[in-house]
Amino acid sequence: MKVEFAPHPPQFACRIARSTGGRQAGILFERKVQLVLSPQDGYLPSPWLHIWTDEGKENWAQPDGLHFDLSAWEIRILEVKIKHCAEARTQLQRYRGLIQQMFPGWPVHLVEIVRWLDPDVKGFGPFSLCPDPFTYKGRVPGVHILRV
């Protein structure tokens, strides 16, 4: 498998689709979070990853954010959700494999950024609350609560 940063979004991502209700609230929350996180040194918001499988199939992925801590040679993958959910862990694990393919040997930490936290969410598994998503170093995914 080969994974690299895409120089531009894939064609399908250029279509404009209307969202309503909960999905729209999530999109608006993510925009606000990106405004808060973007000034951080080493932060890359919503990068597109271009993937080619060993069978020659082309795929794409887009984590909500990557943070490169060059002083510690570590990477953090950030996933933004309006509320804590099992889907975030699935996405973070998928992105971890891709980022490790791109940066072998670098420690990769996973962080979910949420507005609301329900610690009893089924299917997420163990997690640790983290006060700063840019310094989190944990064996389990970190969860950072951000009220914006």
Q: What is the pLDDT along the chain (148 residues), one digit of tens a residue?
A: 999 999 999 998 876 667 777 788 889 999 999 999 999 999 999 999 999 999 999 999 999 999 999 999 999 999 999 998 889 999 999 999 999 999 999 999 999 999 998 877 777 789 999 999 999 999 999 999 999 9
Phi-psi region of 111 (alpha: psi -120 to 50; beta: other; left: phi over 0): beta
Amino acid at 130: C
Domain limits for position 36: 2-145
CATH value at residue 141: 3.40.1350
pTM of the model: 0.92
Residues 6 or more apart whose CB falls under 8 angstroms from that of 44 comprise 65, 66, 67, 68
**């994974």: which residue's tokens?**
3
Q: How many domains does the structure of the chain reveal? A: 1
